[in-house]
Amino acid sequence: MTSPRIEPVGPISGQDLPRYAGYSTFARLPRADEVSHVGVGILGVPFDAGVTYRPGARFGPGHIRQASRVLRPYNPELGVDPFRSMQVADCGDVGCNPFAIGEALGQIERAADSHLSAGTRLVVLGGDHTVALPVLRSIAKQYGPVAVVHFDAHLDTWDTYFGEAYTHGTPFRRASEEGLIDRQASVHIGTRGPIYSAVDLSADRELGFIPIHAREFTRTPLDRIIDRVLERVGSRPVYVSVDIDVLDPAHAPGTGTPEPGGLTSRELLEMIRSFSQARLVSADIVEVSPAYDHAEITALAASSVAYELLSVMACTPR
């Protein structure tokens, strides 16, 4: 499309309407139906029927949007204004069935399809981690198998729970089985805590992931970890999936299965920024459970992650 570039519609200015005022779209951006084209869409998926411990991530998208009111436009670390470089808009929430996981997966996939097929990249706000699977199904239709960079305390490659194959503990096993993931290029970051057995780790490796344990952040310089990840993903299309519990509970109490010994928000944000050197095709931020949050600190971390992901997208082509 070589038509004359239309200046993207940015957020409402804090000089016109204070940041605590007005409707809550992400970062006070326009809604998707208010702009002619969406370069990157923020898509809420208020679904938490796949959780195994504390529920509540269904309220996650709204909570993150509320915290995103304070985002200002220019990213000095990456030297980019994501809201001017491309049209970012809020695509609202997927209306998905809270009682039937299978049906909800279909609803989410169809919603993702409608955006991705129109050339829109997505930053998905969960919801629990189950939602990564239908998004990856949709992604794979556009890009084939992608490198998944998965920030999480947990592997999320378990098999079944109470006989259910599709839960927040299984999306990456299912995705790998379904061929949605590049098994040479995927990585877990921030893994920690007890697991069921040593077999979990070997199974995980076969599904295409290498783990970078949280404890490595204590001993290894951050830039060396970043290099390792960038090397693994190379020039492949990358999907970044951020379970907010990758952060230590001190930084993200508002989540379903918190695990001590995690990353700081400073480490996480730096890791995210590094993908300006990769080809980021879409991303998600999941498992924000507002009832356990305090003073919005979890939501602020999540909205900052979303902002850095948008900035990364502004630095790189689709």
Name which of residues 135 to 164 contact a second copy (CB under 8 A).
161-164
CA 120 – CA 108 distance, rounded (Å): 15
CA 185 – CA 104 distance, rounded (Å): 29
Evaluated on CA atoms 189, 81, 3, 6, the torsion sign reads positive
User: Does the protein bind a second copy through residue 74 (CB under 8 A)?
Assistant: yes
User: Does the protein bind a second copy through residue 106 (CB under 8 A)?
Assistant: no
Decide whether 195 or 230 has the Cβ nearer to a second copy: 195
User: Does the protein bind a second copy through residue 113 (CB under 8 A)?
Assistant: no
User: Does the protein bind a second copy through residue 4 (CB under 8 A)?
Assistant: no
Decide whether 101 or 238 has the Cβ nearer to a second copy: 101
Closest approach, Cβ 248 to a second copy, in A, equals: 6
CA 163 – CA 24 distance, rounded (Å): 38
Q: For 242-263, give one letter per residue: b (16+ CB within 10 A) or e.
A: bbbbbbbbebbbbbbbbbeebb
User: Does the protein bind a second copy through residue 309 (CB under 8 A)?
Assistant: no
- E strand or H helix at 203: helix 198-206
CA 280 – CA 5 distance, rounded (Å): 23
Residues 24-43 that bind a second copy (CB under 8 A): 24-25, 31
Interface segment toward a second copy; rule CB under 8 A; list 35-43, 117-125, 189-197, 234-242 = 189-197
User: Does the protein bind a second copy through residue 77 (CB under 8 A)?
Assistant: yes
Are 286 and 132 spatial neighbours (Cβ–Cβ below 8 Å)? yes
Tokens of 278: 């990769």
One of 2, 16, 224, 235 touching a second copy (CB under 8 A): 16
Decide whether 292 or 318 has the Cβ nearer to a second copy: 292
Closest approach, Cβ 213 to a second copy, in A, equals: 7
Q: For 111-134, give one letter per residue: b (16+ CB within 10 A) or e.
A: bbbebbeeebbbbbbbbbbbbbbb
For 182, residues 6+ apart whose C-beta sits below 8 A from its C-beta are: 145, 146, 147, 148, 208, 236
Interface segment toward a second copy; rule CB under 8 A; list 14-22, 141-149, 173-181, 229-237 = 14-22
User: Does the protein bind a second copy through residue 3 (CB under 8 A)?
Assistant: no
User: Does the protein bind a second copy through residue 56 (CB under 8 A)?
Assistant: yes
Give the binding-site size for a second copy (rule: CB under 8 A).
101
CA 68 – CA 8 distance, rounded (Å): 19
One of 55, 142, 177, 277 touching a second copy (CB under 8 A): 55
Residues 226-285 that bind a second copy (CB under 8 A): 248-251, 253-254, 257-262, 264-267, 269-270
One of 15, 224, 231, 317 touching a second copy (CB under 8 A): 15
Residue 68 identity = S
